[in-house]
Chains A and B, each alone.
Chain A
Amino acid sequence: MTLLSAQAAFYYLAAASIASALLAVTRKNPVHSMLWVLSLFLHVAGIFLLLGAEFLAAVQVIVYAGAILIFYLFVLMLLDLPGEEARPRFGRHWPFAAAAALSLAALAWLAGARTLDLGGPEAAAIAPPELVEGAAAEPPRGSVAEIGAALFGPFALPFEIASLLLLAAIVGAVVLARRKAATP
């Protein structure tokens, strides 16, 4: 892929992600919101592909879009929310929420754009010089083998803890959602 088409693809995916996220948090119908979140996840998966994270792109589509989002849709339809479209979608405090979100996003933007851009003048302090110069020539890494080696090497203990966490979440979800037999 040439550089220009890759850049065009990135900026298209970024714009589509932002539009999808905005529509997702503002639509009245919850199912429409879910479908816009699906669009957001697919576009973010495209960005992962562009950034050389093929395995994570696949996980994003399979686990996020395929499992987690379908789970949300399932619960949404199970509850069969009555009159959801008639009620106000935002609370009365939504300007404060918008101000908080704007300031947080501006803070994160500043932090990312100024101090952490490794191509910038501050980069020499936090990145070794060969990373700043030589990263463009090599193809992006991030193959499944590399991630697997990291997962079962230095990250073996966190990996096992994540499996324990998922087990605890399964048991907790069943306990929470179970119908109580006869409560006094």
Chain B
Amino acid sequence: MIVPLGAVLGLSAVLFGIGVFGFLARRNIILMFVSVEVMLNAVNLSLVGFSWRLDDPRGQVLALFVIAVAAAEAGVGLGLVIALNRNKPGAGIAELTELRW
């Protein structure tokens, strides 16, 4: 075992926190989606860490499913971005206020 599992999980936690910050703080909708990808990657990292520590391939299979869901999310999300951009040019979320109430 090259490093303790705690180091992998800690790295995963830090990356997840950075992703959460990016998602909550950025004003550009595409960069918000990219922050979600950073979070998904952090979760994949901890799944692979568990798989490695427990010597069980199931963690890697779950990470594979996470990647598939991330691909689906990117497709639908960017379709939404293109549809939004047609109605209101620009990718800032501050202008999208019609659904607020």
- Using a CB–CB distance below 8 Å, which chain A residues touch chain B? 3, 6-7, 10-11, 14, 17-18, 21-22, 24-25, 30, 33-34, 37, 40-41, 44, 47-48, 50-53, 55-56, 59-60, 63-64, 67-69, 71-72, 75-76, 78-79, 81-82, 84, 87-91, 93-94, 96-98, 100-102, 104-106, 108-109, 111-113, 116-120, 127, 131, 135-136, 138, 140-142, 146-147, 149-151, 155, 158, 162, 165-166, 168-170, 172-177, 179
B51 touches A53 (CB 8 A): yes
B68 neighbours in A (Cβ, 8 Å)? 162, 165-166
Report B33 CB to chain A, min CB distance, Å. 7
B51 neighbours in A (Cβ, 8 Å)? 51, 53, 142
Summarize A's interface: helix, strand, loop or mixed. Answer: helix
> Assuming A55-B60, A150-B57, what are 18 further A-B pairs, CB within 8 angstroms?
A37-B34, A47-B8, A51-B48, A53-B48, A64-B41, A68-B70, A71-B75, A75-B78, A96-B24, A109-B13, A119-B5, A120-B6, A135-B1, A149-B57, A165-B68, A165-B72, A169-B71, A173-B76
A168 neighbours in B (Cβ, 8 Å)? 72
Q: Within the complex, which residue of A11, A106, A140 is in contact with B52, where a contact is CB–CB below 8 Å?
A: A140
Q: Mark B42-57, 1 if CB is under 8 A from A, else 0.
A: 0011101101111101
- Using a CB–CB distance below 8 Å, which chain B residues touch chain A? 1-22, 24-28, 30-31, 33-35, 37-38, 41, 44-46, 48-49, 51-55, 57-58, 60-61, 63-65, 67-76, 78-83, 85-86, 89-92, 94
B71 touches A63 (CB 8 A): yes
A87 neighbours in B (Cβ, 8 Å)? 27, 92
Most chain B beta-carbon contacts within 10 A, residue among A6, A10, A21, A151: A21
- Sorted nearest first, the 7 A-B pairs with minimum C-beta distance are A105-B17, A112-B9, A25-B22, A97-B24, A169-B72, A108-B13, A101-B21
Report B75 CB to chain A, min CB distance, Å. 4
Report A16 CB to chain B, min CB distance, Å. 11
A100 touches B24 (CB 8 A): yes
B60 touches A53 (CB 8 A): yes
Most chain A beta-carbon contacts within 10 A, residue among B57, B82, B91: B57
A48 to B33, CA, bound (A): 23
Q: Tell me whether A72 and B15 are in contact in the complex, defined as CB-CB below 8 angstroms, given that A41-B41, A173-B79, A177-B79 are known contacts.
A: no
